[in-house]
Amino acid sequence: MSDAASTGFSADWLRQREPFDLAARSASLALGFRAALGPQNPAAFRIVDLASGSGANFRALAPLLEKDQEWRLVDHDPLLLAAQRSEITRWASGQRWHCHDHEGGLAIHAGPARWLVRSQQLDLARDLEDIDLASCDGLVTTAFLDLVSAAWLDRLSALLVRTPRPLLASLTVDGRRTWFPTRPADQLIADAFLSHQGGEKGFGPSLGVRATPYLAAHLAVAGYQVSTQSSDWHIGREHSDMLLNMAQEAATVATETDPSCKPAVSSWLADRAADIHHGLLSLEIGHLDLLAVPHFPVVK
């Protein structure tokens, strides 16, 4: 979600970005998260997903975690919460897994594993402390942390200190954005995007690209073992629709950030549209995944 030009994320945008997210995620950190959940635990893994969108985190991680699972997908947007059901049902059908309504949520039978998914509407900016970590085994989020403030991450850290749980935070942007081939106005576009990411997204002044290092440092001091790995998007020449989307978004952000640069931005966008038309353009966007595992005993 963090690469959209604003915090109004649509199910269509999340569906478009999902394959790039899936290809970029750190497999080793996801496996580390699975190990931290306690593979010898005979009960179902209980996972809370913050800012869950249309449920992409569940779709990415559930097959990797393999065993029985219970997921609580938390988001503030009622439209995205409604989209979770249709997106998960379509995905399960594509995998030839049986999916049906169950106690207000969904149950997916994936071979021998049974996954229960429930949605929860919650304003994470205001009510983060309402998350009951004692009722889960692990916490996940994706493409979200760069939208929040230092104060909000301090609140999240405090929750994780009071109730230690492993955290997997995937696909937080880190500021690297490289267009191939290069154009003279690329730096102007990049600077505007970085400036925009530091704005207000509903959680206080956003940390943007500083979010992962900030949270990593605070959790390490609090007694967590913290690892980070790159999880970069690679948008190849064959993905013309996504490239045009990203170029248009970058141009919009640049113009909003500094209206005086509109002529240069318009020229840059025209050049990028031509690059896409001729099959020349590709784009890499840097992200970081973070795994934080408590050193101290986890009481469940």
Residue with tokens 């003279």: 184
Phi, psi (rounded to 5 degrees) for 195: -65, -40
Let me know if residue 188 belongs to a domain: no
Give the pLDDT band of residue 296 (cuts 50, 70, 90): low
Let me know if residue 219 belongs to a domain: yes
Tell which wins on pLDDT, 192 or 62: 62
Let me know if residue 254 belongs to a domain: no
Per the prediction, the chain carries an average pLDDT of 92
Residues 6+ apart with CB under 8 A from 226: 216, 219, 220, 290, 291, 292, 293
Beta carbons of 94 and 81 less than 8 angstroms apart: no
Let me know if residue 194 belongs to a domain: no
Structure tokens given for 40 = 């010898």
Beta carbons of 180 and 281 less than 8 angstroms apart: yes
Query: Cα 137–289–15 angle (5° rounding)?
Result: 90
Q: What is residue 193's predicted lDDT score, i.e. its pLDDT?
A: 85
pTM of the model: 0.94
Let me know if residue 270 belongs to a domain: no
Let me know if residue 24 belongs to a domain: yes
Interval 186-202 mean pLDDT: 86
Let me know if residue 62 belongs to a domain: yes
Stated length of the chain: 300
Q: What is residue 229's predicted lDDT score, i.e. its pLDDT?
A: 98
63: domain range?
11-177+204-236+286-294
Which stretch of 7-11, 58-62, 86-90, 203-207 has the lowest confidence by average pLDDT? 7-11
Domains in the chain: how many in total?
1
Structure tokens given for 108 = 């997916």
Let me know if residue 189 belongs to a domain: no
CATH number for the domain spanning 152: value is 3.40.50.150
